[in-house]
Amino acid sequence: MLVRRSAFERVGGFDERYFLYFEDADFCLRLRSAGGRVYYDPSITVVHERGASVFKDPARARRAYRESQLLFWEIHRGRWARRLVHACLRLRGEAP
């Protein structure tokens, strides 16, 4: 991700409520809502070796992912969306 510092600061940077996951998507939505532009270039490739935190405690990483996912839905679509996503995750046995 490349972003001008002024744009990053204008939208308040990354939301620290996200422990892991979804902070980039949240940032991009807030930036776009503030009138910024978000581009995706599929020709750019970045190789990300899975993080050490995931290997040390995969269960904790899965829980962090789901908790961030629920926070994302609540922030951007409201409590009803969070509840709906949580219910779907429960049905799949993936709820935090």
Residue 96 lies in a domain: no
Which domain range does residue 51 map to?
5-91
Note the helical H segments in 1-96: 5-10, 23-33, 52-56, 58-77, 79-91
How many domains does the chain divide into?
1
Query: What does the pLDDT look like over 10-58, one tens digit per residue?
Result: 999 999 999 889 999 999 999 999 999 999 999 998 887 766 666 678 8
- Under a CB-based contact definition with an 8 Å cutoff, are residues 36 and 83 in contact? no
Query: What does the pLDDT look like over 72-89, one tens digit per residue?
Result: 999 999 999 999 999 999
- Under a CB-based contact definition with an 8 Å cutoff, are residues 3 and 26 in contact? no
Residue 22 lies in a domain: yes
Residue 53 lies in a domain: yes
